[in-house]
Amino acid sequence: MRVTKESLLRIAKETVQERAYNDTDIVAAYLTGSLREEPMLGGAADIDIVFVHKTTPKTSREFIKLTPDFHIDISRRMKDEFKSPRELRGDPWLGFEMYDPILLYEREKFFDFVQASLRAGFEFEQIPLTLQRCRTLLSHGRGNWFDISEFEGEPGPKEVRKYMKSLFHAVNAVAELHGAPLWERRILYDFPARAEAAGRPGMVAAVYGLLGANHVNPEKVGSWLNDWKQGFQLAAETPGVDVRIHPARVNYYHKAAKALLDSDTPLSALWLVLHTWTLSAAVLTGDHLSFWRSAASELGLLGDGFAEKVEGLDHFLDEIDIMLEEIAAANGIDPEPSTGFQI
């Protein structure tokens, strides 16, 4: 099957038309994610569609397999989430999601008003709101760090997942100074350009160090893929696993990891592999859990190494905090952090 950006867009439109015809609760639908730009990574891609509902939807996320390499990723939101343009401008996730999507369907006038309010006066791109979004992300990162800062005992998937969630928000607190948030498949590949734009190129090495990349090489990461894939497939059929570990997404992640390993920055595959493996490990037992533990140990994320990584993450969060304060001071903006949105 020959798949192009145009054919994926056509599938998105057809899917939305069918769903909206059969569900009058759908107010609007729009396309977001990588399909708007360059969707392919390793020859696999997803179609990110957001449905806006009048009432609370029964499920918030759904995956539809098209082929082994392509699937539809459906998210659902309530119309009430878009009521306040002021809050929308300061939201580091929904703000960017609504800033430049492709409208696929509209039952009632909704989209133009929300987007016009979001873009009014070009405030969204100005430093005050940019800093507000970055501070929100930093606040989330610090909150997750607090959850593990006094952890005692042997860390496992739960603690490593919380650690990576904190680091994910921290990385995006830097990345959003110069663009939309970065996501799991390309986060390490795209972060260097954002760190350079922020005048903090040294943060790239810091992030790799916090992941334990200095303990492994690309060949080692590649050698984990077979165990990672088996664990992913088993976890995807296990009740209670994170929604992102879904049978339709095996190649989406696997082919992306292989493509990154073959890129000019092969260790940029580490985030994708470790993140999804950790989500899978939360429901794995026996040998499959042991394989994850072995990899995490090599990265220094288990045993005594975990406390060292948490301490390093503390310093990294502080460094970002100082950077944001310096930017605020240079622009005559209140340096005190604002309250954040929960995601």
Distances (CA, A) of 103 to 108, 201, 287: 13, 36, 46
pLDDT mean over 196-209: 98
Confidence (pLDDT) at 341: 37
Q: Is 92 exposed, middle or buried (0-12, 13-18, 19+ CB in 10 A)?
A: buried
pLDDT surpassing 60 at residue 343: no
Extents of the domains making up the chain: 5-121, 127-322
Question: What's the topology of domain 5-121?
Answer: Beta Polymerase; domain 2 (3.30.460)
Band (pLDDT 50/70/90 cuts) for residue 2 is low
Mean pLDDT of 307-333: 96
Tens of pLDDT, residue by residue over 233-283, are 999 999 999 999 999 999 999 999 999 999 999 999 999 999 999 999 999
- pTM: predicted TM-score of the whole model, two decimal places: 0.94
Does the pLDDT at position 21 exceed 90?
yes
pLDDT for 64 = 96
Cα–Cα distance for residue pair 212/305, rounded to 1 Å: 10
CB–CB of 317/170 below 8 Å?
Answer: yes
Tell which wins on pLDDT, 121 or 168.
168
Calculate the dihedral angle through the C-alpha atoms of 49, 54, 59, 60, rounding to the nearest 10 degrees: 50
